[in-house]
Each structure stands twice: as C-alpha cells, then as structure tokens.
Structure 1
Amino acid sequence: MRAPALKLTGHLAAQFTAKDGVTQLRTHHQSYPLKLAKPFRLGQDEQLAVYMMDASPGVLAGDRYELSWSFGEQTSVLVTNQSYTKVHPARTSPEAPLYPSAQCVSLVLETGAYVEYMPEPLMLYKDAVLLGETEVTMAAGSHLFWSEIVCPGRHQRGELFQYDTYRNAMDVTYDGELIYSARQLVRPGLRAPQRIGSWDRYTHQGTLLLFSDKADGQLSTLLREWLAEQYGDTSGVYWGVSHTYKHGVIVSVLGMRVLDVEPVLTSAWHWLRQELFGKAPLKLAK
C-alpha cells in the first residue's frame, strides 16, 4: 500500500539579479527546515556562492521539498549545500504504508546567466522512497552546470540498494525548445541495479551536465579525450561522455565510492569551466 506525500515540509525560493556586473541575492524566502546561508564571493571572481541548509536530520517520510531559483540577466551564481541529502525510510513503522518523499527543483535562467548547481551526494536509506523532479527553463545565451551523485545506502550499516524507490525526472527547455528530457526509475526490490545492462558491479552513480550554446559535438570529443588521459587506466570507475540533442554535454560515471566518482566529475567540471568560460578551478569549503 502506498500513500501520497503528506505535506509541503520545506520551501525555498531565491531571486538573483546583476547590476554593473555584480550579482546579488535580490529576494528570498524560506520555510523550516530549509534556509540559505549568507552569500559570499568566490575569490577574485564576481561569482556569488550560496549554500542551502537543512536543519532537519534529512528528508523524512512524507516530506515534500520545493526549491525555486530565478537567475536574472548576466548573473553568475554557484549553488551548493552543506552536506549529503539524506532520505530516511518511507515507513514510520514496519506495518505502516509507504509515505513517499519528494523533492521538486525549478531553475529559471535569463539571458547571459551563468549558474553552477552542484549539490552534495544523495543518500538513500533503507526503505527510502524519493520522487525527484527538476524543471529548467533557459533563455538563449544562458549557461548551466548541474551535478548529481546517488549513493545506494549506508555501507557501515550494511545497506546496499535496500531503498524502495528512486524516481527522477528532468526537463530542460532552451530558448523555448525542449532540448533534454530524462527519466530514471530504480526499484531494487523488483530489478537489481547491479547487473549487466544496468550498473554492472558498481554501486554509485554520478552525472555532470552542461547546457550552453558553447556545448557541441566537438566539445564532447575533446572532453572525452582529456578524461581518457586522466582516467583511462583507472579501474575503480566506468565513465563516458556524450552530446545531447542540442546545447548539452553529459558526463556519466559509475564507481564503488563517492571518493571514486566525485574526482572524475570535478575534473570534467573544472576543465569545462576553464576551456569555455576562462574560470579557474574551484575548491569549496564544506
């Protein structure tokens, strides 16, 4: 038996604008347990960094988080959070029905906006159910980096693909045209992820997406060649680079630990931001 998500638990909305080349957080509102930490500048760059914070132990049974982001013309923003997003069991007791949790993210980028949306990994506890939706609307001339790492559970507790359901949907519209649509449904109890044709022997999945009019098939080839030089002989990960239908590059990584997957994604991110946008590599303090 399944029950609908109980309530809107946390809501966070933020609007960024730019004046004379300086980005600022124009307005924001939030409800417990979500909040934004005080924004700060990244080194000599005028890019603004903001940290999402969650005062609760994590996403609990029946919780629904809604995150809405609006990036005005010529803004430059990096969004991240303090720690892993932890999705707790969807049952309040062994006999109780499943109460799915949900996280809905909306990003709107105006012309010239440059956004890096780089949250910490997602951790799915035993019996967790997470329904994720991401909707991105981009004006022509805007640029978006987006990253995700999905963990199969808490290894120290013996959890490995013991969550109930992970469903994720993402749509990206660029200049009024749908350029990317992805759907993922993982239900380990019905179909084991660790098999040929799926994740094989690997346990952790990582993804880096770049959407920009600078992203084309040639860029995918160059990035693939560069990553092959860096990680071609690395047996701990399995990775690939592909070009989307239009204006997009995807880096996909499978590994056995976050510590295996994250460096590949970070290297690709740093290479792309340097080659395309002339930005130096970042090391974020957490």
Structure 2
Amino acid sequence: MPPAFREYGTQHLPQSPAFGHGKEGIADLVVAREGDNPTRLISDLVKVPYHLTGTLDSDPVDGMTTICLQDPTGAVTQGDRQTLSVEARPCSRAHVTTQSATKIQTMKASYAHLDATLVAESGAHLEYIPGPTILNEDARCLQTTTVDVAADATVIVGDVFVPDGLTDHEPFSFDHFHSRLEARVDDSLVCADAVDLRPDERDPRDPATVGEHAVVGTLYVFAPSADADALADAIHDRLTDHEVAAGASVLKDDAGVTVRALGDRSADVTAAVEAAWDEARETLLGTGAPLEGRGR
C-alpha cells in the first residue's frame, strides 16, 4: 500500500464508510475445462456492486468462455473497494471484460481501490481486457494487478487510462492516480510496472511522462513459452498504421511483451490496444480477438 493511500484511508467519510454496504465489490471466479469441452465457470463469489449473470460462448477461439462483469452503480466513488480474482485451471481458456468504462468520481476524502489477481495454471489462456478507466476532477484511485502464470500458460491484460473525466474541467485535474502491476512466472518476477501521477506536484504532460498526449493505453502479454521477439515485432508492425505513439518491448527472461500507446483520443488509444491484443491472439492462438460489438 503506497503511504499516501494509507493516509487517505484514515480520512472520515460522511456517507457509508469504506468496506461498507455496497462499497466492497468482490468477484472471486474459477474457470476449468475438461478435454476438448468448453471452459466453464465452476465457482463464483460475487458481491455488490459487482454483478454477474453468467458466461458467454461467443468467442471464436475453441473452448474459450467470456465473462462480462457488470456494475449497476455506474461509477466508483470515494471509499469504494473492488477486488477481482480469476483462477484459470489447467488448459482452460477465459476472456474477462467489463460492461463499460470504469468511471472514478470526484472525491473529497479517502480513495478508491481497484484490485485484480489473475492466475493461469498449466496450459491455460486467460485475458482481462476491461473498459477504460476514466478519472474525474479530484479523484483518487489506487489500481493494483497481480499476475501468476505457469511457464506454459498465457495471460493478456489490457488497460486504457483516460484522465479528462466526464465533466467540464481540464485534463489531469484528478488528485492522485497510482497503478501497479506485478507478474510472476513460476514465482519469478518478470514484470513490475508502476505509474504514480499527482498533477498538483508534477505535471504528467512533461516529456518524461506522457508529453503532449492525453490518453495512455497498455497491453501486457505474458507468454513464457512463445517467441517473444517475433511477437514484439508482429505487434510493433501492426501498430504503425494507428494514430498513436506506440512501442512494444520484450519482458525479462523473454516472458512476453509489454505494449504502451499514447494518444489524444481514447478511441484511438483503445483501437491501438485492441489491435495489439488481436495480433497477440493471432500469434498465440491462431484466431484474432472478437473486436466486433465492443462499442467501436
């Protein structure tokens, strides 16, 4: 827990406190597959504000199931804590997404915490591609992701960060955004990526951060058994036609590829992240991503 967010957590909330009713969302999911049968959701513990009506079998990849998490509240407010855990059992295939963007509302105290833990066991393929995270004025958001992947499994994680919110205010007028991802392959750390933005202390639009751009997109492809150099080259070539500044880098121990895209519009950055995801799927599974029907 970053010290600043520990301090935020001590601040009094005039409404329902942190972890109060409707403010502690939990989605604890386990998927499994037997032989050539479709992947099934065999265990699910879901607590408001998360909502899950079931799984979808619409993905073109054989055996892949789709899980779409819903949030009937429509936004994340001060004091909210949301925890997602997905365990993909051996040889299972699952795509996890959200119904819409995650909108972080204006705050006067405390903070919001979005936590995700993704585990892919031997031979599994797990994807977590949620909608964009949108920060409104004075919002505070801690976003943490932990990935554990077997040496012969794959995990793909996507993220699009939009700092201009939904109200009439200047971009990067939120209070504090801290995002951290750590990934391990058989307990060996292969990726530790952190972003800590406090616009009042340092303008994120300096050349060392996002420069003149306003939207940040990231795709992590953890595929220890794949040819990481070939995957990075394929994704890089795919992104040359997009109106974003983007690059692809090979992870430690050739454990996969990380992609970063910077742009002026969320639609452009989202399209670039989806193109990288599509290319990774083609390389790893032989079938592209189901981009139709994703609001584009």
Taking structure 2 as the reference length, what is the TM-score of the superposition? 0.88
User: Matches of residues 133-172 of structure 1 in structure 2 within 5 Å?
Assistant: 133-154=144-165, 157-172=168-183
Q: Is the 8 A contact 1:59 1:101 kept in 2?
A: yes
Q: Is the 8 A contact 1:90 1:101 kept in 2?
A: no
Residues 117 and 31 from structure 1, CA distance in 2 versus in 1: closer, same or farther, beyond 3 angstroms?
Answer: same
SS in 2 for 1:19: coil
Give the equivalent residue in structure 2 for 1:251: 259
User: Matches of residues 86-235 of structure 1 in structure 2 within 5 Å?
Assistant: 86-91=103-108, 98-154=109-165, 157-213=168-224, 214-228=226-240, 230-231=241-242, 234=243
- Whether 2:82 is the aligned partner of 1:77: answer no
Q: Which one is further off, 276-285 or 259-268?
A: 276-285
SS in 1 for 2:172: coil
Q: Which one is further off, 164-173 or 2-11?
A: 2-11
- Whether 2:13 is the aligned partner of 1:4: answer no
Distance in 2 of aligned mates of 1:278 and 1:14 = 26
Distance in 2 of aligned mates of 1:225 and 1:137 = 28
Q: Is the 8 A contact 1:83 1:120 kept in 2?
A: yes
Q: Is the 8 A contact 1:239 1:252 kept in 2?
A: yes
Distance in 2 of aligned mates of 1:60 and 1:156 = 15
TM-fit CA distance, 1:88: 1.1
Q: Counterpart of 1:277 in structure 2: which amino acid?
A: L
Q: Is the 8 A contact 1:125 1:159 kept in 2?
A: no
Q: Is the 8 A contact 1:152 1:204 kept in 2?
A: yes
Q: Counterpart of 1:82 in structure 2: which amino acid?
A: Q
SS in 1 for 2:233: helix
Distance in 1 of aligned mates of 2:82 and 2:28 = 11
Residues 43 and 11 from structure 1, CA distance in 2 versus in 1: closer, same or farther, beyond 3 angstroms?
Answer: closer
Unaligned runs of 5+ in 1: 92-97
Distance in 2 of aligned mates of 1:211 and 1:101 = 27
TM-fit CA distance, 1:43: 4.7
- Whether 2:41 is the aligned partner of 1:30: answer no
- Residue among 229, 232, 246 paired with 1:239: 246
SS in 2 for 1:54: coil
Aligned length: 275
Q: Percent identity?
A: 25
TM-fit CA distance, 1:15: 0.7
TM-fit CA distance, 1:171: 0.8
TM-fit CA distance, 1:197: 1.6
Give the equivalent residue in structure 2 for 1:94: none
Distance in 1 of aligned mates of 2:232 and 2:58 = 27
Distance in 2 of aligned mates of 1:277 and 1:148 = 21
TM-fit CA distance, 1:156: 5.2
- Whether 2:31 is the aligned partner of 1:16: answer yes
Residues 264 and 32 from structure 1, CA distance in 2 versus in 1: closer, same or farther, beyond 3 angstroms?
Answer: same
Distance in 2 of aligned mates of 1:200 and 1:179 = 27
Give the equivalent residue in structure 2 for 1:39: 55
Q: Is the 8 A contact 1:10 1:34 kept in 2?
A: yes
Give the equivalent residue in structure 1 for 2:85: 68
Taking structure 1 as the reference length, what is the TM-score of the superposition? 0.91
SS in 2 for 1:74: coil
SS in 1 for 2:239: helix
Distance in 1 of aligned mates of 2:145 and 2:288 = 28
Distance in 1 of aligned mates of 2:59 and 2:195 = 37
Distance in 1 of aligned mates of 2:195 and 2:288 = 33
Unaligned runs of 5+ in 2: 11-16
Q: Is the 8 A contact 2:139 2:175 kept in 1?
A: yes
Distance in 1 of aligned mates of 2:237 and 2:174 = 36
Q: Is the 8 A contact 1:60 1:90 kept in 2?
A: yes
**TM-align CA RMSD:** 1.7
Q: Is the 8 A contact 1:207 1:251 kept in 2?
A: yes
Q: Is the 8 A contact 1:10 1:65 kept in 2?
A: yes
Q: Is the 8 A contact 1:109 1:138 kept in 2?
A: yes
